[in-house]
Amino acid sequence: MNWGRIWAVATNAIRETLREQVLYLLLLFLFLLVAAATLLPMFSSESADKLIVDTGLAAIEVVGLLVAIFVGTGAIERETNKRTIFILIAKPLSRAEFLLGKHLGISLVLALLIALMSLIFLGFAQLRQIPLPWGAVAIACGFIFVKLFLVTAFALFFGSFSGALLATMVTFGTYLFGNITEDIRKLGAIAGDEGVQRVTEILYLMLPNLARADLKNEAVYGVLPPPEVLLGDGVYILAYTCLVLAGAMLVFANRQF
């Protein structure tokens, strides 16, 4: 594994992703913030500030999710359509290095995007004089990045053996179900049917528990889990990411072009 070659692929992925004008999504994020600050006080003036904070964090995740899914699932297909994949895999660059480079490049763009949205969010809160638990919000944004780090790995995994459209749908489905794995497990227990319970247990074990990286509600009230819980959740998501990337490398290594 040559980190110089991985970094070369990563820098190329960064250029390609920025060329897709993803930074214009910052305007979408700002629009969502302004809309939330305008509309939410009409429905609940007493808790409007907390609703705006919750909406801002949710908007950061949604905008980042769009980049992770659409850029990640199309990363390999774009190289195939441009025929550059044949040049790349004919060089000393291994397929594993290619995938790791793509994941690193997209993840760095996500980190930049989340950092910029966080700064916009904090500046907007200052202008609107919305009280923010700064530390809790920063940690929640960090965990949003960790969650999208895993989603990007899934996007590359599904994109390594299918077209971009199918990979997009399956990755989005994995994200949705990953956020409700605990609910799926509880549903199986409530159903009272052994077969249904067995299926829900299998789904619970197979799907990533993305709720472990969701700290938006806690950040709104400035009350986060203990450090050891945060560390355990972070290690869990990162370990799952390594597992998914390993699977993507295995599948991509055996793909015929």
Beta carbons of 171 and 151 less than 8 angstroms apart: yes
Instruction: Report the pLDDT value the prediction gives residue 228, as an integer from 0 to 100.
Output: 94
- Which amino acid, 151? V
CA angle 139, 105, 99 (to 5 degrees): 115
Instruction: Report the pLDDT value the prediction gives residue 201, as an integer from 0 to 100.
Output: 78
Instruction: Report the pLDDT value the prediction gives residue 90, as an integer from 0 to 100.
Output: 62
Q: How far apart are CA 33 and CA 99, in angstroms?
A: 35
DSSP alpha helix (H) spans, the chain: 3-19, 25-43, 48-81, 84-90, 95-128, 134-159, 164-178, 181-191, 194-206, 216-220, 227-253
Nearest to 248 by CA among 110, 148, 102: 102
Q: How far apart are CA 211 and CA 15, in angstroms?
A: 31
pLDDT tens for the chain, 257 residues long, are 777 888 888 898 898 888 877 778 888 888 888 887 777 777 665 577 788 888 889 999 999 999 999 998 988 888 777 777 666 666 677 888 889 999 999 999 999 999 999 998 888 888 888 888 888 899 999 999 999 999 999 999 998 888 888 999 999 999 998 888 877 777 777 766 677 778 777 777 788 999 889 998 888 888 888 999 999 999 999 999 999 999 999 988 877 76
Instruction: Report the pLDDT value the prediction gives residue 246, as an integer from 0 to 100.
Output: 94
Centre a 10 Å sphere on the Cβ of residue 74 and count the other Cβ atoms it contains. 20
Instruction: Report the pLDDT value the prediction gives residue 143, as an integer from 0 to 100.
Output: 95
- Which amino acid, 63? V
- Which amino acid, 39? L
* Domain positions in the chain: 3-179+214-253
Instruction: Report the pLDDT value the prediction gives residue 133, as an integer from 0 to 100.
Output: 83
In the block, tokens 């609940």 appear at 44
Instruction: Report the pLDDT value the prediction gives residue 107, as an integer from 0 to 100.
Output: 95
Instruction: Report the pLDDT value the prediction gives residue 242, as an integer from 0 to 100.
Output: 94
Check the CA dihedral 117-142-215-61 and report its sign: positive
Q: How far apart are CA 153 and CA 89, in angstroms?
A: 20
Nearest to 56 by CA among 113, 135, 141, 136: 141
In the block, tokens 């297909």 appear at 77
Q: How far apart are CA 169 and CA 154, in angstroms?
A: 11
Instruction: Report the pLDDT value the prediction gives residue 66, as an integer from 0 to 100.
Output: 92
Nearest to 110 by CA among 158, 67, 171: 67
Q: How far apart are CA 113 and CA 123, in angstroms?
A: 15
Instruction: Report the pLDDT value the prediction gives residue 241, as an integer from 0 to 100.
Output: 96
